[in-house]
Structure 1
Amino acid sequence: MKAMIQDSKKNQVKSVGKKFLFIAALFLFGFSIQAQDKKAKDLLDQVTSKVKSYDNITIDFKYSLNNSKENINQDSKGNVTMKGNQYVLNFMGVTKIFDGKKTYTIVPEDEEVTVSTFNEKDDSAITPSKMLTFFNSGYRYNMDIIQNVKGRKIQYIKLVSTNPKDQRKEVLLGIDVQTKHIYNLIEVGKKGTKTTLTVNSFKTNQPLSKNQFTFAGSKYPNYYINKLD
């Protein structure tokens, strides 16, 4: 049972990792696909232009998973620091570090560290650049509703996958009209599941340690190191 719970945590961490890297792809690399909606493209270009100037980004977030039919309502908090394609993600008691070459998944509850090497030729590898390639080849997008959230105008852009096997009905990307920062990311599944990633705190150009994205094995002397390759 403990192993099943831990696997569930790891899968959710991986899912959130994908979402943040998806956001990072928008932030750091921009869009190159032909726009279905010029206004949507112009707004995304503004987001990209502004955030590309940042040396690093630190985000505190809330992650919600809801399915009314299955009576599922789960909320979790976490944080991530990103610089280029490197990142440190903390979520549900698990830490993921990507130093640009290897990913380290640290699970204190199991006293285990899983290490895997990034393969640029692996199409399923999760990095901002790979997410950008995936996005460019599989989505349509257009402007959606605009909402007032505590005095902030949030403009949503709707993204729909062109892959009929995709289990997501749509993805909604909320952008703060004034700051041109990502406010939230909403995924609506075809079976009623809705996941929402909301940015609670967005900081840029923070002073980072030179070892910010370096795994230090000395901090985990009694941990089992599981090398996958």
Structure 2
Amino acid sequence: MKKLLTIVIISILSITTGFSQNSNPAKTLLDEVAKKVESYKNIEIEFTHNLDNTEADVHQETRGKVTVKGDLYHLNYMGTEQIFDGKKIYLIIHEDEEVVIQKPDENDEKQLTPSKMFTFYKSGYTYSMGDLKTIDGIKIQYVNLTPIDTNSDIKNILIGVDVKTKHIFNIIEIGKNKTTTTLAIRSFKTNQTLPDSLFKFDIKKYRDQKNYTISEPK
């Protein structure tokens, strides 16, 4: 479950046709998209997560939702919730009636969270402009990311951006094991009126009312 959440978070992540095939315009494009995202007070995204491996005959589709406000986030995925209140991460596993409380590793710059999903590209990748496609009447410009680390399990990542809105349309991760993971944005809302409780964990609710097991590793 935690691995699946990590995949979503990682996935979970202008545009003109005149760009040449080199890294600078591609990175400039991604910087432009990230800058626009950072200008919003908050973002609410509903997404579809698909995992496909034809050789292994594996095809999975799952829907989820994530709300981000600055560094704070609330992720719902496969019956599991993950909340970051700015200090601790709360992993609420409803099926097991369990809550795991963790502190983020501030020294781990590679740790990926929903709040970093639009900026994860800034280190560890080379960039190139990909194809311009029309999908359901929407022009999508793709940017190709290739890991600098040759030992990475990832072959490349394609980030599709809506030419008109300059919002992420989808993120396609292609693994060296021939598994393709696609995160498609179904709904992208900004500057919503959000309750403060969305980014807070109510320990009394889960400990006293729901009788969930709560653990906090040292």
- Alignment partner, residue 189 of structure 1: 175
**1:160 deviation in Å?**
0.2
Mapped partners of 1:82, 1:137: distance in 2: 21
- Whether the 8 Å contact between 1:87 and 1:98 is mirrored in structure 2 is yes
Alpha carbons of structure 1 residues 174 and 130: separation in structure 2 relative to 1, 3 Å = closer
Give 1:100 deviation, angstroms. Answer: 1.4
Alpha-carbon distance between aligned partners in 2 of 1:48 and 1:112, rounded to the nearest angstrom: 35
1:225 and 2:214 correspond: yes
Q: Structure 1 CA distance, aligned partners of 2:141 and 2:28?
A: 12
Q: Identify if the C-alpha distance between structure 1 residues 67 and 145 changes in structure 2 by more than 3 Å, giving closer, same or farther.
A: same
Report how many residues are paired.
Answer: 207
SS of structure 1 residue aligned to 2:31: helix
Distance 2:94 2:199 in 1: 18
Shift in alpha-carbon separation, 1:46–1:122, aligned structure 2, 3 A: closer
Check whether the contact 1:123–1:130 (CA below 8 A) recurs between aligned residues. Answer: no
Give a deviation string over 1:73-132, Cα, whole Å, max 9, x none. 000000000011110000000000011111000011111000001231134533446995
Rounded to whole Å, the distance in 2 between the matches of 1:130 and 1:48 is 9
Deviation at 1:49, TM superposition (A): 3.1
Query: Residue 56 of structure 1 aligns with which residue?
Result: 42
Aligned position for 1:174: 160
Q: TM-score, normalised by structure 1?
A: 0.84
Deviation per CA, 1:137-181, whole angstroms, max 9, x where unpaired? 311011001111111100000000010110111100000000000
Deviation for aligned residue 1:194: 0.3
Q: Which has the higher contact order (CA 8 A, sep 6+)?
A: 2
Gaps spanning 5+ residues in structure 1: where? 1-8, 24-34
Partner SS for 1:198: strand
How many angstroms does 1:42 deviate by? 3.3
Report % sequence identity.
43
**Which whole-Å CA distance do the structure 1 matches of 2:133 and 2:66 have between them?**
26
What's the RMSD between the two structures over aligned residues? 2.0
Q: Which has the higher helix share?
A: 1
